[in-house]
């Protein structure tokens, strides 16, 4: 049986893994996160005995193609707001959890290198809790899994680049062409409802999107959980700011609200694709190594799904 390693359990990695597994391949999926999902994510908190939650990555999903529409239905997505918008229930993270069911998924594993070569790749990985963003990797021997006949790398380009540097140096220049904007995202909770619209997408200014997350289907509608996303320009200008300063700064840009009972900021260094690669995936048949992700096509979850499936088709030949 063909053994394939998938790096990344976001939508691209899950779509690739499901397609390969359905065709009889043995797939192993590695992700540094605590669960599958990547940028399809839900954060929870308990405040004063109340359970609050926010989708802090993708806000809603749209399907242009029948394949993605079928997948959303299969994973139990429900419509929200404007026609054609879908969300996971009870949170966005429910979608990737459903898609990961039955896969051999290794979570909390930070992949540090690929060793071996075509037809006999090995994946080296560390306990993700020991790896600090921006710091040198801990000086310890990694765990190793393999051999794998092929490897699918479905990480954002900047995170994929160090992994392809040795086995496929030519790919580094290709993926360096891709541009992805950062996004500071504020998760706010209130006792009483702010006088804000259910959703708002201003065309300019410091914030790009505002939504009442607790108004989505399957959430506790008696809570007031709101998501505020900064614009790409504002996020870039404040990229290295302290997280604690972000919530107050963005709240100050909105009409006055009650004092928040919860205020937290999440920095997405790689959020929405601004300059895609323009190809559905990258596949090196001699190396039996490929890359996929939303960044190949567009800044939408469906693009990640399409790219992951395209890479699976390329691997299967
Ligand atoms: C704030 C925000 C808002 C968005 N809003 C929308 C929206 O409303 N609608 C929409 O369609 N799309 C939206 N998107 C985009 C959408 O979320 C993405 O297009 C899609 O989820 C990308 O999937 P992916 O699999 O390509 O990448 P990811 O989801 O980023 O998956 C990559 C995975 O790789 C893992 N990883 C990275 N490095 C390593 C490593 N070294 N070792 C192991 N694992 C690693 C990560 O943990 C992650 O799980 C939004 C994104 C963000 C951040």
Angle at which helices 157-164 and 169-176 pack, to 10 degrees? 160
pLDDT surpassing 80 at residue 1: no
CA gap 232, 216 in Å, rounded: 25
pLDDT tens digits along 69-128 = 999 999 999 999 999 999 999 999 999 999 999 999 999 999 999 999 999 999 999 999
**Residue 119: left if φ>0, alpha if ψ -120 to 50, beta else—which one?**
left
Where are the CATH 3.50.50.60 domain residues in the chain? 3-40+97-178+276-316
Whether pTM > 0.85 for this model: the answer is yes
Is the CB of 95 within 6 Å of ligand 1? no
Stretch 12-17: mean pLDDT, rounded?
98
Q: What's the whole-number average pLDDT of the chain?
A: 96
Where are the CATH 3.90.660.10 domain residues in the chain? 41-92+179-274
Stretch 144-173: mean pLDDT, rounded?
94
Is the CB of 59 within 6 Å of ligand 1? yes
Expressed in angstroms and rounded, the spacing between residue 49 Cα and the centre of ligand 1 is 31
Q: Identify the CA nearest to 107 among candidates 14, 18, 23.
A: 14
pLDDT at 133: 83
Expressed in angstroms and rounded, the spacing between residue 40 Cα and the centre of ligand 1 is 6
Token pair 């890479």: residue: 311
Q: Into which CATH architecture does domain 41-92+179-274 fall?
A: Alpha-Beta Complex (3.90)
Atom 12 of ligand 1, residue of closest alpha carbon? 300
pLDDT at 90: 97
Expressed in angstroms and rounded, the spacing between residue 170 Cα and the centre of ligand 1 is 24
Atom 27 of ligand 1, residue of closest alpha carbon? 10
What's the maximum distance between 2 C-alpha atoms anywhere in the chain? 61
Stretch 258-275: mean pLDDT, rounded?
97
Contact 211, 226 (CB under 8 A): yes
Burial 164-175 (b: 16+ CB within 10 A, else e): beebbeebeeeb
CA gap 181, 171 in Å, rounded: 21
Atom 34 of ligand 1, residue of closest alpha carbon? 8
Contact 223, 52 (CB under 8 A): yes
Nearest atom, ligand 1, residue 300 CA: 11
pLDDT surpassing 80 at residue 137: yes
Task: Provide the CATH number for the domain formed by 3-40+97-178+276-316 in this structure.
Answer: 3.50.50.60
pLDDT tens digits along 121-133 = 999 999 999 999 8
Is the CB of 53 within 6 Å of ligand 1? no
pLDDT tens digits along 210-253 = 999 999 999 999 999 999 999 999 999 999 999 999 999 999 99
pLDDT tens digits along 41-72 = 999 999 999 999 999 999 999 999 999 999 99
Nearest atom, ligand 1, residue 37 CA: 49
Q: What are the distances in angstroms from CA 317 to CA 92, 103, 228, 289, 305?
A: 33, 22, 43, 13, 18
CA gap 150, 145 in Å, rounded: 13
Contact 153, 267 (CB under 8 A): no
Is the CB of 38 within 6 Å of ligand 1? yes
Is the CB of 300 within 6 Å of ligand 1? yes
Helix, strand and coil percent figures for the chain, each rounded to 5: 25, 35, 40
Atom 4 of ligand 1, residue of closest alpha carbon? 58
Expressed in angstroms and rounded, the spacing between residue 277 Cα and the centre of ligand 1 is 16
Is the CB of 40 within 6 Å of ligand 1? yes
Is the CB of 11 within 6 Å of ligand 1? yes
Report the residue among 58, 183, 291 best suited for mutation to probe ligand 1: largest number of ligand atoms under 8 A from its CB.
58
Stretch 1-21: mean pLDDT, rounded?
97
pLDDT tens digits along 268-303 = 999 999 999 999 999 999 999 999 999 999 999 999
pLDDT tens digits along 179-197 = 999 999 999 999 999 999 9
Expressed in angstroms and rounded, the spacing between residue 8 Cα and the centre of ligand 1 is 9
Is the CB of 229 within 6 Å of ligand 1? yes
Report the residue among 6, 9, 10 best suited for mutation to probe ligand 1: largest number of ligand atoms under 8 A from its CB.
10
């Amino acid at each position: 049986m063909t053994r394939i390693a998938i790096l990344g359990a976001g939508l691209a990695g899950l779509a690739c893994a499901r397609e390969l597994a359905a065709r009889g391949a043995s797939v192993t999926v590695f992700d540094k996160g605590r669960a599958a999902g990547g940028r399809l994510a839900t954060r929870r908190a308990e405040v004063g005995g109340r359970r609050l939650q926010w989708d802090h990555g993708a806000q809603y999903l749209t399907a242009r193609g029948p394949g993605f529409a079928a997948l959303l239905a299969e994973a139990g997505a429900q419509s929200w707001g404007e026609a054609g918008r879908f969300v996971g229930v009870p949170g966005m993270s429910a979608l990737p959890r459903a898609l990961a069911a039955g896969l051999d998924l290794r979570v909390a594993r930070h992949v540090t290198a690929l060793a071996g070569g075509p037809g006999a790749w090995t994946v080296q990985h560390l306990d993700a809790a020991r790896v600090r963003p921006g710091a040198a990797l801990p000086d310890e021997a990694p765990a190793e899994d393999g051999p794998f006949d092929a490897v699918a790398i479905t990480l954002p380009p900047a995170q994929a680049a160090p992994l392809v540097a040795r086995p496929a140096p030519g790919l580094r220049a290709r993926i360096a062409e891709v541009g992805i904007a950062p996004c500071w995202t504020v998760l706010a909770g209130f006792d009483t409802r702010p006088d804000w619209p259910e959703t708002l997408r201003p065309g300019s200014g410091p914030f790009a999107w505002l939504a009442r997350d607790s108004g989505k289907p399957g959430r506790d509608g008696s809570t007031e959980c709101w998501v505020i996303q900064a614009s790409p320009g504002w996020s870039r200008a404040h990229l290295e700011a302290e997280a604690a300063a972000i919530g107050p700064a963005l709240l100050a840009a909105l009409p006055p609200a009650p004092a928040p009972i919860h205020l937290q900021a999440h920095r997405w260094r790689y959020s929405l694709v601004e300059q895609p690669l323009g190809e559905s995936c990258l596949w090196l048949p001699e190396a039996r190594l490929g890359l996929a992700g939303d960044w190949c096509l567009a800044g939408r979850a469906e693009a990640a799904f399409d790219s992951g499936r395209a890479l699976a088709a390329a691997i299967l030949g």
